[in-house]
Chains A and B, each alone.
Chain A
Amino acid sequence: MKKCDYFMDLIITDYIDDRIDKTSLDKLENHLMDCHDCRLFLKEVKDSAVSPFKVSAQPTVPVELWNTIKQKIEYEKDGRSRLEDFFEKIRGLIIFPRLVPILASLILMLLAGSVTISTIQVEQNKSKDQGEYLVSLLSPATAGITPENNDLGTPIEHYFL
């Protein structure tokens, strides 16, 4: 029986599917001549598990399949061309496309220039303010210290002034 298991395993796949090597085929065919069970098994496999599928007809492809696929593709192409048209229109709105880079660089230069000028002005104002402050410190009149009003009432001031 163990021997039959081995041959049945060969029958149900390799033999039926024509994948068996010559040596195994010879052994199997010799065995089939002597073994009624294996012959019956081979017939059963062929009749019940393989032939119904092998002899079945291939149903024809419904015509609507190609029509649907074609429609889908055309719809996709339409959508894509509409998008391309939209971008084309936007491009058309710019009359002199070659001026665009020149204009863009001019705007950039103007922006950079205005930023530099405003920075210089801020710096100038800052240094002006600092100068005025130092001058105010050095000049007693602006600091509100007059010779009449220079006594702050401390002994050390008496010594220096």
Chain B
Amino acid sequence: MEDINKDILLKASQGDMPAFELVYKASSSFVYNVALRVVNNREDALEVSQEVFMIIYHKLSSFRFESSFKTWVYRITANCAINFAKKYSRTKTVPFEEAYGEGSVLNEAHVKIDQDHKEEIVAQLLEQLNTDQRACVVLRDMQGLSYEEIAQSLNININTVRSRLKRAREKLLSLKRQVNYEKV
């Protein structure tokens, strides 16, 4: 996420729309992508993103610059996306065999696979994780946040971040092994 000048934030907090548009431009990619990966659905991701930006718009005037604006946005985004995912969790039964099976990006690492297919695989893999694990994986591996930033965003301690990432990765590994075992 891009850094935003304090003056722009102050203007946006006073209801200045061009300034708020700059805030949106700097943070929309992060907000939308985290929402998309956590809720794993385009329409829901749009709804979550709208909610995040309306919160930012309304609460920007009470933002005191004691913490970083980025962390504040990370936190709002993570909270909205996780709450949405938990509230409207659609029990999809996505076969993980599709992600780790024949023709997957993992088995054909050297073959150029179109982007849509890659996207599908990522969505299927994320679907195997619970919401909390998914949020950690998205923030760490897809958005490149540090453990400290994830801990602040999710309001948990660093050890919890570490253990969620560990469990998520172990789960993906065991699914991969299961697929390999079934193939033998």
Measured CB to CB, the residues of A under 8 A from B are 9, 12-14, 16-17, 19, 44-45, 47-50, 52-62, 64-66, 68-70, 72-73, 77
Contact = CB atoms under 8 A, between A and B. Distances in A.
Instruction: Name the interface size band of chain B.
Output: 35 or more
Contacts of B121: 52
Nearest to A68: B50
Interface of B: 15, 17, 20-21, 24, 28-29, 32-33, 36, 42, 46, 49-50, 53-54, 57, 100, 105-106, 109, 115, 118-119, 121-122, 125-126, 137-138, 140-142, 147, 162, 165-166, 168-170, 172-173, 176
A58 B33 contact: yes
Given A56-B119, A61-B29, A66 B21 contact: yes
B166 A12 contact: yes
B141 A54 contact: yes
B20 to A, nearest CB: 8
B172 A48 contact: yes
A58 B28 CA distance: 12
B105 to A, nearest CB: 6
Contacts of A55: 118
B115 to A, nearest CB: 6
B28 A45 contact: no
A77 to B, nearest CB: 8
Given A44-B173, A47-B109, A48-B100, 9 more contacts: A12-B169, A12-B170, A13-B166, A52-B121, A62-B42, A64-B46, A66-B21, A68-B46, A69-B50
Given A66-B21, A66-B24, A49 B172 contact: yes
Contacts of A66: 21, 24, 28
A55 B28 CA distance: 20
A65 B50 contact: yes
Nearest to A56: B122
A13 B172 CA distance: 14
A64 B115 CA distance: 22
B106 A47 contact: yes
Given A53-B122, A54-B142, A58-B29, A48 B166 contact: no
A50 B169 contact: yes
Given A48-B176, A58-B33, A69-B53, A53 B165 contact: no
